[in-house]
Amino acid sequence: MKQIANFLLIGLVLLGIVVVYDGFFIVEEGKQVVITQFGRPIGTPKTEAGIYFKMPFVQQVNEFDKRIVIWNGEPNQIPTNDKTFVFLDVTARWRITDALTFLQAVKTVDRAQSLLNDIIGGTVRDMVNKNNLIEIIRSSDWSIENMSPSNQEPGTTPERGRDVISDQALEIAARATPQYGIELLDVVFKRVNYIDTVRESVYNRMISERKRIAAEKRSTGEGQKARILGTVDRELREITSGANREAMLIKGEADAEATRIYGESYNQDPEFFAFMKTLESYESVIGDNTSLVLSSDSDLFHYLKNSSRN
């Protein structure tokens, strides 16, 4: 009897250990748990970290991540609105916000990723189909003016860009995910490229457009240069004209002053003044080796004769 009692005690201890081991569970930080019993959810999801209890053997723990999950789409060639194919690689971020709904509708992360392939992939394809190539390849903060590759007409300016288009794709796709307990956080065009058949023509178009814009810039620069040179020439003429007027005024004042001085000198000694004027007139016409023949009636001879007598 004692041996049987010992076996029963050992069995109860082992059963207690198994019950404790299977009955208690830990919810880690960043995790959430839904308890199910025979496949049916029991209670509300456990979203806070801690130790919880469940019915051993009967109830199961279904653990899900609360952290952000990355979705990477399959790179595809998608036609744009202007009938040009573009190679597009898309990524997105999502997380489980309602573990109970997620368990009932999706069950696993792998199935959720497959579901997002249809939701995000289809939405992105529709958005690309509705927009021209220039909108897909251009980021919203790209400020180069009048960029127009591929089928865009030269001189047109893109209105949106792929950042705006990806935001619109997020808005549309996010409406479909709450029914699966999923919150879609963002949709990003990770890589956008031309397919080989259009890359060369697009590059040639871009080069041509850049040359056209460069020619416009040079023309504008030449026009500004001509305006600046014209302004400089006009200002130079105005400055020169003003200087000439001032010089003429000064010269006129100097001539008037000289005339006044000559007049005063003449009045003080008219005979000497006449003699000086005669000498100045001869000085202006006689060179270094000039021989001068004077008549006895000339003024200079008269002055020289009177000077020798004195």
Instruction: Answer yes or no: is pLDDT of 20 > 70.
Output: no
Structure tokens given for 138 = 């251009």
- In this structure, is residue 305 part of a structural domain? yes
> How many structural domains are present in the chain?
3
The single-letter DSSP state of residue 62 is: E
- In this structure, is residue 213 part of a structural domain? no
The single-letter DSSP state of residue 23 is: H
Encode 228-286 in three state secondary structure: HHHHHHHHHHHHHHHHHHHHHHHHHHHHHHHHHHHHHHHHHCHHHHHHHHHHHHHHHHC
Q: Are residues 184 and 76 in the same domain?
A: yes
Residue 67 contacts by C-beta under 8 Å, 6 or more apart in sequence?
Answer: 30, 95
Query: What pLDDT was estimated at residue 277?
Result: 73
Q: Whole domain around residue 12: which residue ranges? A: 2-63
Q: How many CB atoms lie within 10 A of CB 91?
A: 15
Which is more confidently placed, 241 or 267? 241
Please return the burial class of 57, using the count of CB atoms within 10 Å of its CB with bins 0-12, 13-18 and 19+: exposed
**What pLDDT, in 10s, does the model give residues 53-77?**
887 878 888 999 999 999 999 888 8
The CATH number that applies at residue 188 is 3.30.479.30
Which of these ranges, 7-16, 94-103, 113-122, 249-258, has the smallest mean pLDDT?
7-16
Q: Are residues 77 and 58 in the same domain?
A: no
Q: How far apart are alpha carbons 61 and 27 in whole angstroms?
A: 10
Mean pLDDT along residues 103-122: 95
Query: What pLDDT was estimated at residue 1?
Result: 65
- In this structure, is residue 221 part of a structural domain? no
Domain end point (choices 63, 81, 101): 63
Verdict on whether the full-model pTM lies above 0.85: no
Q: Are residues 59 and 139 in the same domain?
A: no
Are the CB atoms for 132 and 81 separated by under 8 Å?
yes
Query: What pLDDT was estimated at residue 90?
Result: 94
**What pLDDT, in 10s, does the model give residues 116-136?**
999 999 999 999 999 888 888
Residue 194 sits at φ, ψ, to 5 deg, of: -85, 150
pLDDT band at 101 (very low <50, low <70, confident <90, very high): very high
Q: What percent of the chain has pLDDT over 90?
A: 35
Instruction: Answer yes or no: is pLDDT of 36 > 80.
Output: yes
Q: Are residues 74 and 36 in the same domain?
A: no
Which of these ranges, 120-124, 174-178, 190-194, has the smallest mean pLDDT?
190-194
Mean pLDDT along residues 94-103: 95
